[in-house]
Structure formats: C-alpha cells, structure tokens
Copies of this chain bind each other. A is one copy, B any other.
Amino acid sequence: MAVRVGCLGGGQLGRMLALAGSPLGIAMTFLEPQDGSSAGQVARQLVGEYGDPVLLAELGAQSDLVTFEFESVPEASARQLAESCPVFPPPRALLVGQDRLEEKLLFERLGIPAAPYLPIGGALELGPALARLGTPSRLKARRLSYDGHGQVPLAAAEAAPAAFAQLGEVPCLLERDVPFSRELSIIGVRGSGGETAFYPLVENHHQNSVLRLSLAPAPRLGPALQSQAEGVCGAILSDLAYQGVLAVELFQVGDQLLANEIAPRVHNSGHWTIDGADTSQFENHLRAGLGWPLGSTQPRGVSAMINLLGELPDPRLVLGVPGAHLHLYGKAPRPGRKLGHVTITGSDPGAVTAATRELGRRLGARVPKPPDGNSYWAA
C-alpha cells in the first residue's frame, strides 16, 4: 500500500527523510552499517555495508525506488541498484559530488564562476601551481573531504609539501583563497518533468569548518543575488538531468557568487525548511523522486538554524525560547558530533535574532553577533 523508498545511508538526513515521508504514505528502508542508526530508529533498516551486493539486491527488491543521503556512497552501489530499481538523484551526481576536480570541471563547462585552482597529481606539481596561484590558498584532497577534513590552508608556499604529506599525497586541488564576504548556499529541487523550485539563499556561519548557524533567507538578499544563485543551481540540475534536492555552496565576493561545492542530496543548510518553509527539503526530495508535484519553497517569515554539536541539550532550555523548534537525531553524544539542530522561526527578524542569541546563551554556544547589534536581517 505504502510507496517503498530505499536509501543508502541511515544518518540524520535519512531520519528526516523518513519522518517527512510517513505522512505521504512513504515507507523507507535504510542500508546502513551502524545498527540502531539515526534513521533506523524511525524506519526499517538493513544492517550492513553500502557496498554489500547481497544487501543492495535486497534493498532494491524491497524498494519501488532508491535514494541516498550522503555523497560518500560508493557510486558502484548506486549503479548496481540502478540496474534493478530507479535511483535518484542520478548516480552521475554522486561521481561529481565525490570528486573536487569533477566538480570544478562541471562548473567550468557550465560557465559557473568558482575560485581559481590547479589539479595536483604529485609533489612536483606543487611548486609551479603555487607560483601561478599564490597564497593564501589551500590544498584540498579531491575525494572524501568534507566539514574541513581533507584540506589544509596554506599561508605560504613553503608549507605546501608538509600539507601534501599530511593529506597522504592523494590527488588534490590547489585552490586560491578568495576574499569572500560571506558563505551562502542554495537548495534547489528538480522534478521528473524537469520543473524546478528553489529555496531562498541561506547565509551560513561555520566554526572549525562545521556549520553552526544558518540564516534563512540570507540577510540583504536582493532578487539579483537570488536569481544568480538559481541560475547556478538550475544549470547544474539541468546538466545532470537531476531528480531530487541539490545543494550548492557559494562564496559571495562583492555582488558575485562563486560556486564552492555541490551536495547531491538534502543538506544541513536546508534543515530550517522543516519549520520555516511551506514544504521541507526532505518532502520535496521525495516528491521529486516519485514524480509527484513539487511543493512550495516559500519561506514562512525568517529562520535561524543552530546545529547542536557534541552534547545533548536539556529540551526544556531549548523549548523555552520563543519560536524554537527542536530536532534531535537519536545519536549518542561525542565531541563535535552533530546531534541535532534548533530552528527558530518568526515573522519579526528582530525577535528571531533575539531568540537565537538567547538560545546561544542558554546552551553556552558562540552564536555570531548580528552586524548592527539588533537583527541578523537588518540592512
């Protein structure tokens, strides 16, 4: 009776997909090595490796279609599944999302501005590349780099060999740091008929390369900036013949957006959409995959999303903050681990700002100050 959607990966993104799917009559099954995973607590789970061919066959047999919830899923697994069962987003998007060089080549091919870079295949290429790009720059492993892992900032050329050694001398990119004024992201969704919808740009604040705070819509967001971001996201969606939700992380330099990286899945910077938009990114991802009409991406007022890292908060402290919505992932505390998030929504930007800072005080979290002292969303 229910529509059966399988998913590679069973973390918090899967959990929120499952919770969004239940009201739509969608029953999800997750393939995930960790028993009692975040997603497995609220849906069915097959316990095993993402590459296990027997479990992949079982997942395919039990699913009307399959998706994935993190981009390190082996592309071969997605391709095996795709032989017996529709897979969305297209496995090719995994390939691009997993390799910074593929990503850069995609941006180039589509005329999407990005920071200057050069590929680094071996230590001998470091010197000439640094001579061309200069410093400050950073060395990034092509594969498996996320949340600050797999990249080393270079203040001076002399540091490059040690950085390359630190990364295990794997294939890398050397990327020139760009003097961006802020980090933004856009989440878009493309349906089976090629129709697209975009959430408003979000401003993201990181600490130690991990997302701490997202402001949605991004402060000082004019139609030109939004349109530029939709152009970037829309071009990628279309080029990949994409189905589902795609996130694009961007740097703003002056009035120009530079693409940083893509995530072919629901994304941390879109968690605010559960409480702060007409339709959540999770619901829209499933709707897109199933060929159902997309839901409205309109925001409801403004939202601030704060990640809960390392320690579980007392729910009373969180829920006593006006407009706060708590989302815990059912994960055991561990230093730095993403355990949940809080979204504060409201129609008054000043009140949402005040509530966000109050939450920061209650949780002992450093929350960035609003530029003018009163509101994140002030001009």
Contact = CB atoms under 8 A, between A and B. Distances in A.
A344 to B, nearest CB: 11
Given A296-B322, A320-B293, A315 B25 contact: yes
Interface stretch (A156-164, A165-173, A327-335, A363-371): A327-335
Nearest to A333: B1
Interface stretch (A16-24, A68-76, A218-226, A259-267): A16-24
A312 interface: yes
B278 A293 contact: no
A205 B280 CA distance: 30
A292 to B, nearest CB: 5
B322 A23 contact: no
Interface string A1-22: 1100000000000010001001
A327 B19 contact: no
A314 to B, nearest CB: 9
Nearest to A20: B19
A328 B25 contact: yes
Contacts of A315: 24-25, 290, 292
Contacts of A25: 312, 315, 326, 328, 330, 340
A319 interface: yes
A109 interface: no
Contacts of A293: 316, 319-320
A22 B282 CA distance: 15
A41 B22 CA distance: 9
Nearest to A290: B315
B19 A23 contact: yes
A323 interface: yes
Contacts of A1: 312, 330, 332
Contacts of A27: 41, 330
A342 to B, nearest CB: 10
Nearest to A279: B325
A307 to B, nearest CB: 14
A132 to B, nearest CB: 49
Nearest to A331: B1
A295 interface: yes
Contacts of A322: 296
A85 B19 CA distance: 28
| 5 closest cross-chain pairs (CB), A and B | A25-B328, A23-B327, A293-B320, A293-B319, A292-B319
Given A15-B22, A25-B328, 8 more contacts: A1-B312, A19-B22, A22-B41, A22-B42, A23-B327, A25-B326, A292-B316, A293-B320
Interface of A: 1-2, 15, 19, 22-25, 27, 41-43, 278, 287, 290-293, 295-296, 300, 312, 315-316, 319-320, 322-323, 325-328, 330, 332, 340, 345
